[in-house]
């Protein structure tokens, strides 16, 4: 049953690329980070599967797959919710068109980057679902630094674009993890 739930959730996650198309790029977009983040996700997924199948570098905790699945599903939900709130402003690139507005509804009431929080939850949840210590470690040392770099780039662009309005908006939201960071 656990595997069936995981496969169903995975299909919903992959469907994000079908249901939510990224808008066409504008000038000044930053596209370099997306392929690196995509490769880091693929690396975590690959290492986690290899770890599970080989029986090497596994966490010996029986409830961990359930915890990982919950985190995984939470991340998918958070991404879908955030994309819905962004509406036509959603993009997979870091960009500003001049017509964009700051979104303060839905998960953006408490988080600056709920889509990134969702992606981190998905990636970490995947590794934990597989009980893969190697995958979880790779999430921390490869994926997370790439994600934080992208967040810095995005925040710099938004400060240049929205100025003081964005600086004030930042003060009322957590960057990535509620109540922590």
For the chain, domain boundaries: 32-89+102-170
For residue 59, which of 120, 131, 146 has the smallest C-alpha distance? 131
Are 153 and 72 in contact by the 8 Å Cβ rule? The answer is: no
- Answer yes or no: is pLDDT of 26 > 60: no
pTM: 0.90
HSE on the CB side for 6, CA within 13 Å? 17
Question: How far apart are alpha carbons 88 and 66 in whole angstroms?
Answer: 34
CATH number belonging to domain 32-89+102-170: 1.20.120.1630
* CA–CA distances in Å: residue 12 to residues 104, 162, 171: 25, 34, 33
Cβ partners under 8 Å of residue 42, min gap 6: none
99-146 per-position pLDDT tens digit: 789 899 999 999 999 999 999 999 999 999 999 999 999 999 999 999
């Amino acid at each position: 049953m656990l595997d069936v739930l995981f496969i169903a959730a995975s299909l919903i996650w992959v469907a994000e690329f079908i249901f939510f198309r990224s808008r066409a790029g504008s000038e000044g977009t930053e596209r370099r980070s997306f392929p690196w983040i995509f490769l880091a996700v693929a690396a975590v997924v690959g290492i986690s599967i290899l770890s599970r199948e080989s029986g090497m570098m596994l966490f010996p905790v029986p409830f961990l797959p359930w915890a990982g699945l919950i985190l995984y599903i939470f991340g998918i939900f958070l991404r879908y919710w955030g994309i819905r709130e962004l509406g036509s402003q959603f993009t997979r690139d870091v960009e500003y068109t001049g017509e964009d507005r700051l979104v303060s509804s839905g998960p953006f009431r408490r988080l600056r980057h709920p889509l990134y929080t969702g992606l981190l939850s998905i990636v970490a949840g995947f590794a934990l679902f597989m009980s893969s210590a190697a995958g979880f470690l790779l999430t921390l040392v490869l994926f997370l630094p790439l994600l934080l770099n992208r967040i810095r780039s995005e925040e710099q662009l938004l400060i240049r674009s929205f100025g003081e309005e964005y600086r004030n908006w930042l003060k009322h939201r957590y960057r990535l993890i509620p109540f922590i960071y």
